[in-house]
Amino acid sequence: MENKIIRIANLKRDFSVGIETVHALKGVSFDVLEGEFVTIMGASGSGKSTLLNILGALDRPSGGDYLLDGTNVGTLTKEQLAGIRNRKIGFVFQSFNLLARTSALENVELPLMYNAKVSPRERREMACHALETVGLADRMGHAPNQLSGGQQQRVAIARALVNDPVMVLADEATGNLDSKTTLDIMGLFQKLNSEGKTIVFVTHENEIAEYSNRTIVLKDGEIVKDYTNQGRQAILD
Amino acid sequence: MTVFNLSKIAVKAMARNKMRTFLTMLGIIIGVTSVITMLAIGQGSKQSIQEQISSMGANMIMVHPGSDVRGGVRMDPSSMKSLTLDDLSAIRRYATHLSALSPMVSSGGQVIAGGSNWPTTIQGVGEDFLMIRKMEVAEGVMFTDYEVKRAAKVCLLGQTVAENLFPDVENVVGQTVRFKNIPLKVIGVLAAKGQNTFGQDQDDVILAPYTTIQKRIMAITHIQSIYASAESEGVSEQAEKEITMALRASHSLADDEEDDFNVRSQQELINTFSSTSEMLTLLLGAIAGISLLVGGIGIMNIMFVSVTERTREIGLRLAVGGRGRDILSQFLMEAVIVSVGGGLFGVLLGLALAYGMGNMLDWPVVVTNHSIVISFVVCAVVGIFFGWYPARKAAGLDPIEALRYE
Ligand SMILES: Nc1ncnc2c1ncn2[C@@H]1O[C@H](COP(=O)(O)OP(=O)(O)OP(=O)(O)O)[C@@H](O)[C@H]1O
Ligand SMILES: [Mg+2]
């Protein structure tokens, strides 16, 4: 039997704006298996980011259930959610979100600073290892402003990997990159996936979805399609 | 999260913006510098006043004629004749805690020697007077009890008097001076004492046996004041009481009558003047303390700006697993490092300024340990107090909104 990393059932998220209520998610259900590479697609405003934020324990659903790696996230306190983000999840953002004037290595170390169980030496080793994985072994001492956009996103991916999470979540992680660099980054995600990482990737570009195993399409807060990519594109690097 | 990690995060965050960190510190640096400097000046003046009063005499007790209200008319104390040689004997009999005792009569006037003359004060005293006032003889000798009994026409000159009367004479001892037409033989010259706290020249004086002044110069039988030394500082108060008792008995005062004399000790003088300069220290310290407070408000101000400016950083820290209290601790830590670091610079700068000013202006300065310790504690408290509110604001941010902040 395959291990289910994510199990969500009838997930809802409402936002109150003044007297009106926006139903950003209207009851979404699906499972993600360990080792899957899922893309979430949909038009702007369809609820992709809202869903990913809940999956990433950054936000809590208004209704429905969310089990992450066996833990019922809906019942956790704020502090416990922080712990989940720290140990089980790696998040990659569209706009990199690296600390300025801080070396790549220290940027990657950041999540481990909030984990008291990791000693300074382990922290350094793990960060070095993560940077090697994303192919930046020779750029560890560089600050973000000394790196290209693609390299900055690689640092951010290394930061998402450093705590060995059960899954990596990416919200339009290639949205700020040109097509050549986008290809590089997707290749990296494929490599990570082939090494066993579970990945959930939000995008609104069809071509990108073709690099994943499975695509979930949202429309107005509901799943309209959920299919396996038969002709998955492989990027050779 | 460990305190070590926390300090590291805070230091790194501050190192990323050195200029802002320095400007925040500046307020605290100025505050602490002024506290240290002001307290050093205040304490210095207090100590120098104490030292100067102490140098006036050895556990000295002074008795002056006091308010005499008999008959309803208050008289000028200096013109009163209430102290006599009998009182002196009474004190000598009763007071067991005294190591020295001397009467004093004094008279002002011109002193003449050859072609030069000089306005000064001649003090008629006993042999013990030198010891009571911590005076020393530089040349020659002090007169003895024998010369006091004989009302010998001898005297000792203070440095100022000697210099003005005998500018060119090498050996002043053996010369003769005239005071109110009485020739007095100079048997000694007093060692210089300099100015006292009140700016009076303590060397502008002539000492002679009190008997000589009473009989030959002033033609009086009473004495103007009495000087004594207590055996030690500890028994000073007791000695004062004994003197009071002796004088009350000798003046046959009834229980309900007020003293017709005043007994004051050097210690009381020190206390009076110390409390004045303590007030000064407090005032200076308070003014400096206000600048420290302003520095603290500066920290709060810049921390608020910093929290807003770093909203995305905070969002990121929350997203990678930082808890609210980690963020709170980080910002508090930054505030405390800024304030205590500023305090450290401030103490160093304050010390330099205090001693520099002391040297240049020749002011006495004293830096006490507790003024340094207090400055540090106040800095830490200021940091926590003024860092708390901005830190709370940072910790309460929502991760998603913070990450989205432009
Ligand atoms: N904090 C919020 N308050 C109110 N409404 C919100 C909030 N966040 C999202 N929404 C609404 O929820 C809906 C889904 O937003 P979401 O950000 O998930 O869209 P998206 O699919 O990520 O779009 P895009 O492709 O443009 O990023 C939108 O209608 C949006 O206006
Ligand atoms: Mg979005």
Q: Which of B229, B259, B289 is the last residue of a domain?
A: B259
A58 touches chain B (CB under 8 A): yes
| Same domain, residue pair B248 and B337 | no
Question: Is B227 a member of any domain?
Answer: yes
CA-A16 nearest atom, ligand 1: 4
A86 touches chain B (CB under 8 A): yes
Q: Domain A35-46+77-228 class?
A: alpha beta
Nearest CA in chain A to B406: A95
Question: Is B269 a member of any domain?
Answer: no
B326 touches chain A (CB under 8 A): yes
Contacts of A99 in chain B (CB under 8 A): 16, 313, 316
Q: Is A48 in the pocket of ligand 1 (CB under 6 A)?
A: yes
pLDDT at residue number B187 = 95
The H-or-E segment that residue B374 falls in is: helix B369-395
Ligand whose nearest atom lies closest to the CA of A12: 1
Q: Whose CA is nearest to atom 7 of ligand 1?
A: A15
ipTM of model over 0.90: yes
Q: Is A94 in the pocket of ligand 1 (CB under 6 A)?
A: no
| Same domain, residue pair B142 and B228 | yes
Q: B196: how many CB neighbours lie within 10 A of its CB?
A: 13
CB contact under 8 A, B321 and A99: no
Q: Is A47 in the pocket of ligand 1 (CB under 6 A)?
A: yes
Range of the domain at B231: 81-259
- Distance from the CA of A194 to the center of ligand 2, in angstroms? 26
CB B188 within 8 A of CB B99: no
Give the 3-state secondary structure of B138-158: EEECCCCHHHHHHCCCEEEEC
Question: Is B18 a member of any domain?
Answer: yes
| Same domain, residue pair B251 and B102 | yes
- Distance from the CA of A111 to the center of ligand 1, in angstroms? 27
Tokens 């209520």 locate to: A21
Nearest CA in chain A to B404: A95
Residue B54 backbone zone (phi > 0: left; psi -120 to 50: alpha; other: beta): alpha
B312 touches chain A (CB under 8 A): yes
CB contact under 8 A, A78 and B324: yes
Question: Is B391 a member of any domain?
Answer: yes
Report the candidate in B348, B362, B354, B364 with the shortest Cα–Cα distance to residue B37. Answer: B354
| Same domain, residue pair B7 and B41 | yes
| Same domain, residue pair B119 and B213 | yes
DSSP type of residue A99: P
Question: Is B64 a member of any domain?
Answer: no
Per cent of chain A over pLDDT 90 is 87
Q: Whose CA is nearest to atom 2 of ligand 1?
A: A15
* Sign, CA torsion B318/B321/B324/B327: negative
| Same domain, residue pair B236 and B286 | no
pLDDT at residue number B75 = 57
In chain A the first and final C-alpha atoms are separated, in Å, by 33
The H-or-E segment that residue A123 falls in is: helix A120-133
Pairing of strands A4-17, A20-33: antiparallel
Question: Is B66 a member of any domain?
Answer: no
| Same domain, residue pair B223 and B287 | no
Question: What does the domain layout of chain A look like in residue ranges?
Answer: 35-46+77-228
Per-residue pLDDT of chain B (406 residues; tens, 9 = 90+): 577 778 888 888 888 888 888 888 998 899 889 889 988 888 888 888 888 888 878 789 999 887 655 455 555 555 567 789 999 999 999 888 999 999 999 999 999 998 889 999 999 999 999 999 989 999 999 999 999 999 999 999 999 999 999 988 888 999 999 999 899 999 999 999 887 766 788 899 999 999 999 999 999 999 999 999 999 888 888 999 999 999 999 988 888 888 888 898 888 888 888 788 888 888 888 888 888 888 888 888 888 888 898 999 999 999 999 999 999 999 998 888 888 899 999 999 999 999 999 899 888 888 888 888 888 888 888 888 888 999 999 999 999 999 988 7
| Same domain, residue pair B295 and B377 | yes
Q: For residue A1, is pLDDT > 70?
A: no
pTM above 0.80, yes or no: no
Q: For residue A237, is pLDDT > 60?
A: no
Q: Whose CA is nearest to atom 5 of ligand 1?
A: A15
CB contact under 8 A, B321 and A53: no
Q: Which of B233, B259, B285 is the last residue of a domain?
A: B259
Give the number of beta-carbon pairs within 8 Å between A and B. Answer: 66
| Same domain, residue pair B128 and B209 | yes
- CA–CA separation, A160 vs A93, rounded Å? 10
Task: Tell me how many domains chain B contains.
Answer: 2
CA distance A31 to chain B (A): 23
Give the nearest partner residue to A82 out of B316, B323, B403, using CB atoms.
B323
Contacts of A53 in chain B (CB under 8 A): 400
Q: Is A16 in the pocket of ligand 1 (CB under 6 A)?
A: no
Optimal mutation site among A60, A99, A164, interface B, most CBs of chain B within 10 A:
A99
